[in-house]
Structures are given as structure tokens and as C-alpha cells.
Amino acid sequence: MKKKICLLLVFALILGIGLGYPGYKDAEAKSKASASKVTGKVMKISKKSKLSNEKMISDYNTFSLKALKETLKGEEGKNVMISPASLMFALDMAAMGANGETYTQMADIMAKGANKRDLINFAKSYRKTLAKSGMMKIANSLWINNDNLTVNGVKVNEEYLNLLRKVFKAAAASRYFNDDTKKEINNWIAKNTNDMIKNAVDDLSPKTLMLIINCLAFEGKWEVPYESYNINENGIFTNYAGEQEKAKMLSSEEMCYLSSDTAQGFLKYYEGRKYAFMAMLPDDKNIPINDYVAGLDDDAFEKFYNSMSRQSVNTLTPAFTFDYGIKMNDMLKSLGMKLPFDPNADFFKMLDPKTISPDIVVYIGSVIQKTHIELDENGTKAAAVTIIDMKCEATAIRPEIEKKSVILNRPFAFAIMDTETGTPVFTGVVNTVAGK
């Protein structure tokens, strides 16, 4: 199982630099949005699981690779990093309030055929394994728009809120959405990403029922750090356009070599070996890294990771730092999650059934993710925030439902992997070290 982890994470990227960063402990979100005690009823969820944990891991890995492939479309020449883990946690929380085909489309892109118990069990176990090293901080929150509740005459289902509090350790806050609320939300996100992601929320809409937010922050030091003699401040990195860029290049000798018919790479561990940085460099110097990733089979990363052999490999890695942000609506729709974005979606488990009228619609307005990564001679520091904007409005007309030696001196893919479960936490590609 441990080896399976690397599999498709390959680019699980993200988390940046760690210069002796202090370890993090998983904790409930704390701020004015507090994780209040669960005193009322919790939404009933089937106690029976349909899928094994092994199946959930395998499907999550496939989801991670597909999400990265879709994200890379139209992003030629850019540095890209997403967090499939952050996206999964946020989608899981939204899915708990979904019914019927709306739920099925959300669950199937992550694990086909999974029921809500499957999603809950995997989320709980994955959260636990990610957090136990002390390097990963995980926080969830829910921000309810009181103005929207008043205008539409609805109330949030307390049983749904209690489920998110109990299972996802989500903080919950009811606010009148204004500039002060936007500042509070952004402060909460900054706090829970260790100030790596600021001003993630640009504006608040009166049509927003609630914001569902997940934050991840990773800080890890290398097991074997780079010494001064391993660092070349005047190294050269050839970017996606064939242009040479000045780069700080980090050289080392590693003992985990990876290879396939089309690429070679290496594994470099963080302290404790719970997490590792994996690099994949195509043999063909002329193929754009985005195109290379697009052509990989679903099991390509698993095979690549399992090719690991204990042999000396000289490595050269550029130090890099970048931010990335994306609206994930189109990517998720391309994976099959279309109905949840449609006013015909069924998210009515989020609302108190006594307050739902026939003209009320609840759907996902947007899924936004922002990430940050830094990698240098000391380690890696990375963060992600995923924000799901749930819309609620009254409409007289409901639209028709849609039918159904590895030298990294050129573009490469990378991942930060959980070595225990073989799943990607962050995935990405480096096309330039100029910070794009």
C-alpha cells in the first residue's frame, strides 16, 4: 500500500519551502467562526459502506490525475498546482447536502458508486493520516449568509450543519455578508494557510447561501537538507519556450530512482518519511510537459512509483516559488459533474425542509481553488484553499435539466505524496522558474 501511494501523485505538488518550519497539528478551525459543539441531531447517513478503502484510494488517485489533466488544458507555459485533497474535502462537505443525481454526479467523479458513508469514512481516515505527521494542517469552515436566508425565507438544516461539525470538524458562522465579513473570511483563510494565501475571497454575492471552505497547509524539511556546496546560485533552467532562465539549482545524490519507458525521476523524502517529493522528467526533451501529462494512462503514476529501485541517482532541482488560482467549474463539468452547477440541482438537504418553497433553487455557483508553493534547499512549504459558493434564489422559471540522473533543468511534473496511502496531496508542473 505504501508504494501505491506514489502512483499517480506524481504531480501532487505543492507545498513549498520549509526552512525549519514548525510542525503543524491538525486542529478544528478556530476564530470567530468557531467549531461549536454538536448538541442537536445529526443528519442520518447509511452505516453501510459499499466500497473498500483500497477502492476509494485507487479512485481518488484516478480523480487526482484527471483533475490535473483537465486543469492543464489551456495553461501552456504556466506553472500549475492544484490540491486534489483540498478539492475532495470541500466537495465531500457539499455532497452531504445533495440528493439523487446531483449527489451521484459529485460522488462518481471521486469514487464511482460511492455512497455518503464511503465518502465520510475515507475523508475521516485520510484526514487522520495526513495530519498525524504534524506537517499538515487541515481546516474546514462554513459561512452562512443571513441576508440570503431572510430574502428567500429559508433556514439552514441544523442536522446538515451538525454533520459537518461532527465529521469534518467544520467551523460554522452566520453573518450578514459585507466588507467586514469578507475581511473575516480572508483572515480565517490566511490563518489556516499560515499566511501563504491572502485575500482569497474577492467579493461576496447576495445570492450566496453559504461558502464551504477547506484549507490545507504543509511545511516539511528535507530529511537530508542541501548544504552550501550543493547550491549553485547561478544555475540555468530552460523554460517551456526554450529560453534560459537564471535559477538557484540544488544538487544531491538520492537513493530512490524511478523510471518508465518514457520518463525518469527520483524520490526525495521529508523528515519522518511520511511525505516525499516525486519528480517525473520526460525522456523526450521536445514534448511540452502539459502534453506529456495529458497522454499518461490512469495507472501511469502507479507504475512509475512502483518502478522504484534503490540505486544512487544524481539530481539537480531548481528552487521555485509560485501562486496559482483557478475557477474549477469547467474542469469539474468535464469530469461529469454538471447537474450540481445547474439550478435544477438538488441540494435541499442543506435547508430546513419546513422552509423550502417550490420556487427555491440551490446549486453550486462556483468552485475556486488557490494554491501556493515554495521549494528551496531547506524543504517545501505549500498551501491550498478551496471555496465552494452555494447559491440560493427564488425563480419562477426553472430551466430544462440537461440530458445526460535526473536533471530538472527543463519543464517537469512533480507531486507531494502521502507515502502511507499512496495518494497525492498536491500535484503540478513547472514550466518556468520565473514565478509565473
Q: What is the pLDDT of residues 213-239, one digit of tens each?
A: 999 999 999 999 999 999 999 999 999
**What average pLDDT does this structure show over 413-418?**
85
Burial of 123 by CB count in 10 Å (0-12 exposed, 13-18 middle, 19+ buried)? buried
**Domain boundaries along the sequence of the chain:** 21-45+64-221+324-394, 228-321+405-430
pLDDT at 395 exceeding the cut of 90: no
pLDDT at 64 exceeding the cut of 70: yes
pLDDT: is 390 or 29 the higher one?
Answer: 390
pLDDT at 32 exceeding the cut of 60: no
Question: The domain 21-45+64-221+324-394 belongs to what CATH superfamily?
Answer: Antithrombin, subunit I, domain 2 (3.30.497.10)
Per-chain mean pLDDT for the chain:
87
pLDDT at 29 exceeding the cut of 50: no
* Cβ neighbour number for residue 146 with a 10 Å cutoff: 12
pLDDT at 119 exceeding the cut of 50: yes
**What average pLDDT does this structure show over 175-203?**
96
Q: Closest Cα to residue 299, out of 93, 8, 2, 4?
A: 8
Which of 317-331, 374-388, 389-403 has the lowest average pLDDT? 389-403
The model's pLDDT over 346-368, given as tens digits with 9 standing for 90+, comes to: 999 999 999 998 889 999 999 99
Q: For residues 280 and 283, what is the distance between their CA atoms, to the nearest angstrom?
A: 10
* Run of H or E including 321: strand 320-327
Q: Tell me 227's DSSP state.
A: P
Given a contact cutoff of 8 angstroms between Cβ atoms, the answer to whether 275 and 18 are in contact is no
Q: Where are the alpha helices (DSSP H) in 132-197?
A: 146-152, 158-168, 179-192
Q: Closest Cα to residue 248, out of 320, 315, 314, 313?
A: 320
DSSP labels for 60-79?
HHHHHHHHHHHHHTT-TTS-
pLDDT at 137 exceeding the cut of 90: yes
Q: For residues 150 and 98, what is the distance between their CA atoms, to the nearest angstrom?
A: 22
The model's pLDDT over 156-171, given as tens digits with 9 standing for 90+, comes to: 999 999 999 999 999 9
Given a contact cutoff of 8 angstroms between Cβ atoms, the answer to whether 217 and 24 are in contact is yes
CATH architecture of the domain with residue range 228-321+405-430 = Roll (2.30)
Query: Using 50, 70 and 90 to split pLDDT, how confident is the model at 39?
Result: low
Which of 58-62, 105-109, 186-190 has the lowest average pLDDT? 58-62
The model's pLDDT over 278-304, given as tens digits with 9 standing for 90+, comes to: 999 999 999 999 999 999 988 777 778
pLDDT at 31 exceeding the cut of 50: no
Place of cell 502512483: 7
pLDDT at 402 exceeding the cut of 90: no
Given a contact cutoff of 8 angstroms between Cβ atoms, the answer to whether 177 and 390 are in contact is no
Given a contact cutoff of 8 angstroms between Cβ atoms, the answer to whether 55 and 354 are in contact is no
pLDDT at 69 exceeding the cut of 70: yes
